[in-house]
Amino acid sequence: MKNTLIFATLAVSLASVANAQNIVGDWQGTLKAGDVELRLVLHITKNPDGNLNATLDSVDQGANGIPVSSISLKDSKLNLTVDAVKGTYEGEVNADATAISGTWTQGQPLPLDFHRGTASVKTEHKPAKPSDIDGDWMGTLDLGTAKLRLAFHITNTEDGLTATMDSLDQGAKGIPATAVTRKGETLTIEFKQISGTGRFEGKISKDLATIDGSWSQAGNSTPLVLKRVKSAAELERRRPQNPVKPYPYREEEVAYDNKAAGVQLAASLTTPPGAGPFPAVLLICGSGPHDRDESLQGHRPFLVLADYLTRKGIAVLRADKRGVGKSTGDNAAATMTDFATDAEAGVAYLKTRTEVDSHRIGLVGHSEGAIVAPMVATQNSDVAFLVLMAGPGVPGDQILAVQKAFDLKVRGMNAERIDHVIAEDRDVYALIKSETGDRATLDKKLREKLTGVMPANQMDFQMKFMTSPWFRQFIAYDPAPALAKVTVPVLAIDGEKDMQVTPNQNLPPIRKALAGNKNCEIDELPGLNHLFQTAKTGNPNEYGDIEETMSPVALEKIAGWILMRSRTNPS
């Protein structure tokens, strides 16, 4: 489920599509947000293979070289995704490719036009003699429920120190620092473009081996100790289950439209060798801005699952969530109901493929995806079966209460204080659920309730999250009624050591809701966590340290059950 992590999710996957119009070069535009004007420079280049790449400079914020996660140009329509700042751009290139008119969306849509740059406004940093801290540094941010490895790359220039940062377990690389300041032994590196403004401040050790400090963002601060990286291998983690090409099956980059929502989903389709038709599944990610592989803490669970299922004779479609990677749309404004319509578009696409048996199309949903899947199945007769992985059986506010209690216990808080914090949260959730008005009204009421309770420097960040359409639906939505309406076969599995969607809280209501469905199987798999890894404790901060991406037990259970349904329900 979604974690309110101190560090914003920054999944970056460079991608591009070439087009006949020549848009290579530098483009300048000005974004006007109220009384604030920000000059932006878009740098577009072309690879030898013809594909496009781009970076973005926010000149007035001092942020240069922000990686553009995906760029596509089709029929004069330019689409950009900048995951590092959770922004998207949609524009129309004019006939002679001298201007682009469009809209920048980052929480709210704003007009933004680009024109060919006549003179670069970007300041190039010329290299200088390396300082004593030049090089690569890495540390681990322990957030209680997760661990994130951060790598900083520091370079001295004629203009002073510069730096970029990689969030290794979130797939974000090359995030440029907006300011690097050194005063004696104190080093400060700032990232204004990250939601809530990210900032590292630390003390350089006398032997120049460590920088002991903290990471702060949105009013929260967490200890972070950086150590020199001696080898590039230190930045990599073993993921032995990741498949290696060439695959013994076909893989195809595809795209399909959710026409009603005006969203295009970019996806990978893997099909077994042969003509088929094969049973097929659509994989539905958990909460948050996930890519098609559901990348998390260095793992790619859906890549591993898709590979396993395809090798067993099952076609698999997996898509970037709307507004992520190569998919269009606004992820931050979407609800679970919106994601259900995206899933329906995926089912419709699978029906168009001759390799797929249209009578044997199923949904495999993980975490939030296991809420979305029954939503679709109750409305769409083309869904033949469901696999629910770590699916909630109770409303989201109850899920969050258990998660919060676990996190606070790990952090050493006593039981009485935990109960008090959970009670405060329940009051906030009750207010959110009771307010049926617009977002501004809810924001006002929440601020009044939390003023003096929540630190002022956290308020804006938390208000944006708690008043979002997704959060408002999540805490109130009870998945049980939809589950009770499902008539197709269902496999529901949970890991015994799942600390995010605990089996004790969720499997009993799932069993009750599915009691009328005579073709269902509900299993608790021993020793597995929320990601279905073999785990010691189930604590989410173990995810990245475990080499295994998904237990063979879980993989075999899912594949075997799907194939059994396919044999007993032939087309």
Q: Does a cis peptide bond (omega within 30 degrees of 0) precede residue 277?
A: yes
Strand pairing class (99-105; 109-116): antiparallel
Could you tell me if 554 and 525 are in contact, meaning their C-beta atoms sit under 8 angstroms apart? Answer: yes
> pLDDT by residue for the chain (571 residues), tens digit each?
443 322 333 222 222 222 346 888 888 888 876 656 688 889 998 877 778 889 898 877 777 788 888 898 888 889 898 887 778 899 999 888 888 998 888 767 788 999 887 554 545 567 889 999 999 999 998 887 678 889 999 999 888 899 989 888 776 778 888 889 999 999 999 988 776 788 999 999 999 999 999 999 878 889 999 999 988 777 778 899 999 999 999 999 999 999 999 999 999 999 999 998 999 999 999 998 899 999 988 899 999 999 999 999 999 999 999 998 889 998 888 999 999 999 999 999 999 999 999 999 999 999 999 999 999 999 999 999 999 999 999 999 999 999 989 888 887 889 999 999 999 999 999 999 998 878 889 999 998 888 888 877 778 878 888 999 999 999 999 999 999 999 999 999 999 999 999 999 999 999 999 999 999 999 999 999 999 999 999 988 889 889 999 999 999 999 999 999 887 544 4
Tokens 């594909």 label which residue?
A: 51
| Integer Cα distance of 95 and 390 in angstroms | 50
Q: Which uninterrupted H or E stretch holds 165? A: strand 160-167
* Domains 15-116 and 135-235 alike in fold: yes
Class of domain 252-394+478-568: alpha beta
C-alpha span between 392 and 397 (Å, rounded) = 11
Who contacts 312 (Cβ-Cβ below 8 Å, separation ≥6)? 559, 563
Enumerate long-range contacts of 181-185, CB under 8 Å, 24 or more apart: 182/133
Q: How many CB atoms lie within 10 A of CB 141?
A: 21
CATH code of domain 15-116: 2.40.128.120
pTM of the model: 0.73
Distance between CA atoms of 47 and 37, rounded to whole angstroms?
Answer: 32
Residue at token pair 């599509």: 17
User: Residue 287: which residues within 8 A CB-CB, separation 6 or more?
Assistant: 1, 2, 367, 368, 470, 474
Other residues' Cβ atoms within 10 Å of the Cβ of residue 72: 21
Q: What are phi and psi of 141, to 5 degrees?
A: -90, 115
Residue 535 Ramachandran class (φ > 0 left, ψ -120 to 50 alpha, else beta) = beta
For residue 415, report the phi and psi dihedrals to the nearest 5 degrees: -60, -40
Q: Where are the domains of the chain?
A: 15-116, 135-235, 252-394+478-568, 396-475
DSSP string, 185-229: TEEEEEETTSTT-EEEEEEE-TTSSEEEEEEEETTEEEEEEEEE-
Torsion angle of alpha carbons 372, 376, 378, 384, nearest 10°? Answer: -110
Classify domain 135-235 at the CATH topology level.
Answer: Lipocalin (2.40.128)
- Give, rounded to a whole angstrom, the gap between the first and last alpha carbons of the chain: 35
Radius of gyration of the chain (CA): 24
C-alpha angle with apex 216: 321 to 428, nearest 5 degrees? Answer: 65
Integer CA distances (angstroms), 17 to 24, 45, 96, 327, in order: 12, 12, 19, 13
Q: Exposed, middle or buried: residue 440 (CB in 10 Å: 0-12, 13-18, 19+)?
A: exposed
